Amino acid sequence: MKKAIIQGERRAALIEVPTPQPKEDWVLVKVYVAPMCTEYKAFVSGQPSQFLGHEAAGEVVAVAQPGRVQVRDRVVVMPLYACGQCPLCVAGDYIHCEHGPDIMAFTGSPEGRATMAQYLLKPSWLLPRIPDGVSYEHASLACCALGPSFGAWHTMRVGAFDTVLVTGLGPVGLGAVVNARYRGARVIAVESVPYRVGRARQMGVEAVIDPRDPDALAQIRALTGGIGVDCALDCSGVVAAQRLCIDATRRKGQVAFVGECSDELPIRVSADMIRKGLTLIGSWHYNLSLYPSVMQVIMRSPLIELLISHVLPMSDIQRAFEISASHACAKIILKPWE
Ligand SMILES: [Zn+2]
Ligand SMILES: [Zn+2]
């Protein structure tokens, strides 16, 4: 099979590798679409990578034993791997599992874990079915385009009476806008890349504030009667934006973080938390039981098509990474068989 790799700084290519084989409840999925996520960071920094991607949708083409999926099932490939046994996995919060399998030890091959490839291996319980009539492209948005913010808005119970703030309008932030609009919330966003500002406006975001404006916080306060937003979601992973979320949220409001960040964020316990009554939430993905609800957003939201900016053949991997690194895009979807 063919798969995409990063060879070095701004150099991507396709290579030929052995097709993985199904084993026990791990089934073989033919990948029809593979959305791009944060892999461009390795492309830009020149970090070589042989296993790219963690989002996909495709068709089950081989199973080793009877199980919860069958050959010819159309499925979404949930991100990452998990044990399936621990309390977090059993509860559907598999994304937080601490006992991820050693794929090489289990299958005897390094292949099968990358989604930017023609085939992959996945435990069948991480392959929810795609409803009839939903395209692979749209279904794949149940991974990182809509997933992180769906989980966060669900936890914060965001609804039609809420004004929400979204900082960072990459594909995850634009997905947050789609999810918030589906729930009927009023949305304010913070972003500086013109392409993404344009997309947000098309999605009905009421105001898009430039994070470089020194009065960004004052603008958000002015839009909320001086009180602040009910809920904020950082999708940027930038400390200044995380801080803005805390400062722009009203008393007794909620702030969730989905943008990955390893830098420290200073918190003042009295001013930010005790006096303000703020709830801070770390959120990664959504509980598996919420998959049907995520699919409802995909089937019913009029904004869903705006989340996808490019559908490219995987043979165009170099150009796909250049577009991804430019940030002049929403979700980029690769087609591994083209
Ligand atoms: Zn587990
Ligand atoms: Zn992702």
Q: How would DSSP label each residue in 105-169?
A: HHHSSSTTS-SSBSEEEEEGGG-PBPPTT--HHHHGGGTTTTHHHHHHHHHHT--TT-EEEEE--
Q: Mean pLDDT, to the nearest integer, of 291-301?
A: 98
List for the chain the helix, strand, coil content (%; round to 5). Answer: 35, 25, 40
Question: How high is the pLDDT of residue 165?
Answer: 98
| Whole-number average pLDDT of the chain | 97
Coil, helix or strand for 84?
A: coil
Report CA(305)–ligand 2 centroid distance (Å).
Answer: 18
Report CA(80)–ligand 1 centroid distance (Å).
Answer: 11
Alpha-carbon gap, residue 322 to 187, rounded angstroms: 30
Question: How high is the pLDDT of residue 55?
Answer: 98
Question: How high is the pLDDT of residue 47?
Answer: 97
Report CA(270)–ligand 2 centroid distance (Å).
Answer: 35
Report CA(95)–ligand 1 centroid distance (Å).
Answer: 8
Question: How high is the pLDDT of residue 149?
Answer: 98
The contacts of residue 253 (CB under 8 Å, 6+ apart) are: 228, 229, 230, 231, 232, 276, 278, 279
Report CA(151)–ligand 2 centroid distance (Å).
Answer: 14
CA 41 to chain centre: 15
Which element (helix H / strand E) includes 242? helix 239-248
Question: How high is the pLDDT of residue 45?
Answer: 97
Question: How high is the pLDDT of residue 253?
Answer: 98
Question: How high is the pLDDT of residue 168?
Answer: 98
Report CA(38)–ligand 2 centroid distance (Å).
Answer: 6
Question: How high is the pLDDT of residue 180?
Answer: 98
Question: How high is the pLDDT of residue 52?
Answer: 98
Question: How high is the pLDDT of residue 208?
Answer: 98
Report CA(81)–ligand 1 centroid distance (Å).
Answer: 9
Which element (helix H / strand E) includes 295? helix 291-300
Q: Mean pLDDT, to the nearest integer, of 166-172?
A: 98
Q: Which numbered ligand comes closest to the C-alpha of 147?
A: 2
Residue whose C-alpha is closest to residue 233's, from 168, 287, 323, 311: 168
Question: How high is the pLDDT of residue 106?
Answer: 93
Report CA(37)–ligand 2 centroid distance (Å).
Answer: 4
Residue pair 166/189 in contact (Cβ under 8 Å)? The answer is yes
Q: Mean pLDDT, to the nearest integer, of 247-258?
A: 98
Alpha-carbon gap, residue 288 to 125, rounded angstroms: 10
Question: How high is the pLDDT of residue 90?
Answer: 98
Report CA(156)–ligand 1 centroid distance (Å).
Answer: 25
Report CA(215)–ligand 1 centroid distance (Å).
Answer: 45
303-327 pLDDT, tens per residue?
999 999 999 999 999 999 999 999 9
Q: Mean pLDDT, to the nearest integer, of 9-37?
A: 97
97-115 pLDDT, tens per residue?
999 999 999 999 999 999 9
Report CA(276)–ligand 2 centroid distance (Å).
Answer: 33
Q: Which numbered ligand comes closest to the C-alpha of 123?
A: 1
pTM for this prediction: 0.97
Report CA(225)–ligand 2 centroid distance (Å).
Answer: 36
Question: How high is the pLDDT of residue 2?
Answer: 98
- Percent of the chain residues past pLDDT 90, beyond the cut: 100
